[in-house]
Amino acid sequence: MANDVVRGLDDEALMTRLADAREELFNLRFQKATGQLTNTGRIAQVKREVARCLTEARSREIAAAEDLAAQTTTAEG
């Protein structure tokens, strides 16, 4: 999943995608440990997808905090 696709998701869809990716990563690691994994490159792909989702979620959190801070400083002054 590309960065622009992740940015286009709403908050709920982003969290759902993050949960799905984490579950897939868990399953891939389990398959690797049991010797059933054939495509080991998929682990790296899913790790990157988890990181993209976490980065976007954190970016949105920072933007919301900055907006809140700007509103409170405007209300005070």
Assigned CATH topology for domain 3-76 = Helix Hairpins (1.10.287)
Q: Residue 50: which of 7, 14, 8 has the closest Cα? A: 14
**Pair of tokens at residue 52:** 């993209």
**Domain assignments of the chain as residue spans, ordered by start:** 3-76
| pLDDT at residue 15 in the model | 97
Contacts of 58 (CB under 8 A, 6+ apart): none
Phi and psi for 39 in degrees, rounded to 5?
Answer: -110, 90
| pLDDT at residue 72 in the model | 86
**Pair of tokens at residue 77:** 């002054």
| pLDDT at residue 77 in the model | 62
Contacts of 66 (CB under 8 A, 6+ apart): none
List the pLDDT tens digit at each of the 77 positions of the chain: 688 899 999 999 999 999 999 999 999 999 999 999 999 999 999 999 999 999 999 999 999 999 999 998 887 76
* 36: three-class secondary structure by DSSP: coil
